[in-house]
Amino acid sequence: MDTNAQVTSGPASFDELVVEIRSRMDSLSTSHKKLAQRVLSDPEAVAFMTVSELAGAVGVNEATVVRFANGLGLKGYPGLTRLCRERLQEQAQLLRRFDNLEHLVADGAGLLEQTVGLDQANIARTFARIDDVMWESVVDRLARAPRVHVMGLRKCHAPAYLLSYLLGMLREDVATINASAGSLTDELRRVHAGDCFVAISIHRYSLDTVRAAQWARQRGAHVIALTDTAVSPLAMSAHDTFYIEASSASVLRSMTAFTSLVQAMTGAVAHLLGHQVRPTLLDEERLLAEFGTYADTPSE
């Protein structure tokens, strides 16, 4: 009898490890959940920690760390650090490319230069992490789902509104969930199985957005999250997650990469729909002209 056939292989990449951890998160013990959250939020540090260092960092014993790694189907703790180090190698070239941008402060650059440099790095890192297969699937859902619901509150309302507005120019049945004046439950009532639900939030995460995403998934909608880290509660509810860099030269986190991603998404939807969007855009232009929406510009 071939005993090897009974052995279940563990995650072969860090991305697969993330999927495995997320799928088990609700069933993990308190100690294992602490370890999972540390791996998801800071794989760079875990990559070079010893067993005792990781155990001390999260407040568990070394045996718990080893059991956690084995439970994920890895070859002990070395298997866990190997995947974290491979993740670092994948990002190394990109990190080196933008290392000088992140050290503008130390070099004495002004706030404007710091802001530009960090936003360039935010955009590049955000797009570098996007899986091509997931991207094509998400674009197709945004274009063809019966209805698209977009939710982002407080600071995240801006990219949510932009996504909803641009999508609404390209297709019918796009709704922005504002949750204003206690209307959240009324708006969620319009979410149905097969719809697409886009949830946008960064730390500190809006509880309404987190709950709405969880409810939408239970309802049968396909949930897409735009968030900041793998430990975001939105990532736990989403079918597809985009991790957006939001580093800033000030105390206010940057939303530039969110805006760039939204622009890219809607541009891809427009390309996918092709000539189908032309009648919609022509109707829009006729309405704008009829209602005199824009100020006249002087003729040349």
8 Å CB contact between 109 and 117: yes
Give the tens place of pLDDT for each residue, 214-228. Answer: 999 999 999 999 998
Cα Dmax for the chain: 85
Strands 196-200 and 148-152, bridge-based pairing: parallel
**283 and 135 fall within a common domain:** yes
Identify the pLDDT of residue 1: 35
Give the tens place of pLDDT for each residue, 171-181. Answer: 999 999 998 87
**212 and 276 fall within a common domain:** yes
Residue 34 forms part of a structural domain: yes
Residue 299 forms part of a structural domain: no
**153 and 61 fall within a common domain:** no
Identify the pLDDT of residue 108: 58
Q: How many CB atoms lie within 10 A of CB 13?
A: 12
Give the tens place of pLDDT for each residue, 248-281. Answer: 766 678 899 999 999 999 999 999 988 777 777 7
- The letter for the amino acid at 183 is S
**173 and 218 fall within a common domain:** yes
Strands 174-177 and 148-152, bridge-based pairing: parallel
What is the band of 98 on the pLDDT scale with cuts at 50, 70, 90? low
Q: Residues 192-218: what's their mean pLDDT?
A: 93
Identify the pLDDT of residue 57: 87
Residue 204 forms part of a structural domain: yes
Identify the pLDDT of residue 294: 76
Give the tens place of pLDDT for each residue, 132-160. Answer: 899 999 999 999 999 999 999 999 999 99
**23 and 138 fall within a common domain:** no
Identify the pLDDT of residue 6: 40
Strands 240-243 and 222-227, bridge-based pairing: parallel
Identify the pLDDT of residue 299: 60
**145 and 232 fall within a common domain:** yes
Which of the pair, 298 or 5, is modelled with greater confidence?
298
Q: Quick one: which of 88, 49, 93, 97 has its CA closest to 69? A: 49
Task: Name the residue range of residue 67's domain.
Answer: 10-89
What is the band of 193 on the pLDDT scale with cuts at 50, 70, 90? very high
Q: Is residue 297 predicted with pLDDT exceeding 80?
A: no
The domain tally of the chain equals: 3
**50 and 145 fall within a common domain:** no
**84 and 105 fall within a common domain:** no
**279 and 202 fall within a common domain:** yes
Give the CATH number, domain containing residue 35. Answer: 1.10.10.10
Distance CA 159, CA 47 (A): 34
- In the sheet where 222-227 sits, what is the strand order? 174-177, 148-152, 196-200, 222-227, 240-243
Give the tens place of pLDDT for each residue, 3-15. Answer: 343 445 788 888 8
Residue 191 forms part of a structural domain: yes
Highest mean pLDDT among 40-44, 91-95, 157-161, 242-246: 157-161
Q: What is the mean pLDDT of the chain?
A: 84
Residue 3 forms part of a structural domain: no
The full length of the chain comes to 300
**245 and 174 fall within a common domain:** yes
8 Å CB contact between 134 and 240: yes
Identify the pLDDT of residue 156: 94
Residue 170 forms part of a structural domain: yes
| Percentage of the residues of the chain whose pLDDT score is greater than 90 | 44
Identify the pLDDT of residue 223: 97
Could you say which of 105, 126, 147 is where a domain stops? Answer: 126
Residue 294 forms part of a structural domain: no
**225 and 118 fall within a common domain:** no
Residue 295 forms part of a structural domain: no
Could you say which of 89, 110, 143 is where a domain stops? Answer: 89
**179 and 269 fall within a common domain:** yes
Give the CATH number, domain containing residue 259. Answer: 3.40.50.10490
Highest mean pLDDT among 41-45, 107-111, 136-140: 136-140
Q: Which of 26-30, 59-63, 248-252 has the lowest mean pLDDT?
A: 248-252
